[in-house]
Amino acid sequence: MKIQESAENYLETILMLKEKRGAVRSIDVANELGFSKPSVSVAMKHLRESGHVTVDEGGFISLTEKGNAIASAIYERHCVIAELLMRIGVSEETAFEDACKVEHKISEETFDRMRECYKKIMKKDG
């Protein structure tokens, strides 16, 4: 199921924060993305209604299986694209900024080829 780029960003951010902190609340997402808490609350409501996240009584956000699948795919794209950009000489900061822009727009075919290239590079580098 294809969702909007903004929803993909929220899901990816939740995944990354969960890995860093273990627990994620709306305020953490708002701080990470630089958005207002009301904006994040509205987004979390939509993601809950679409079955991508759950929010418990304490306000802690968890990805559902469906949400985790999307977040993991976007995060993989982000990491692979950023790494390839850095390998060709792009600064780390620019590579991560550009990866954020490209990860949502790139076709599956192109990303598959990039992933293959990335795996060859990583295997070669040991």
The C-alpha atoms of residue 83 and residue 115 are separated, in whole angstroms, by: 10
Task: Give tens-digit pLDDT for 65-124.
Answer: 999 999 999 999 999 999 999 999 999 999 999 999 999 889 999 999 999 999 988 888
d(CA 116, CA 67): 25
3-state per-residue secondary structure call for 18-33 = HHHHCCCEHHHHHHHH
pTM across the whole model: 0.86
Task: Delineate the domains of the chain, giving CATH numbers in brackets.
Answer: 5-69 (1.10.10.10), 76-125 (1.10.60)
Confidence (pLDDT) at 1: 46
Q: Please say if the pLDDT value at position 2 is more than 90.
A: no
Q: What is the mean pLDDT of residues 25-53?
A: 95
Place of tokens 């902190």: 21
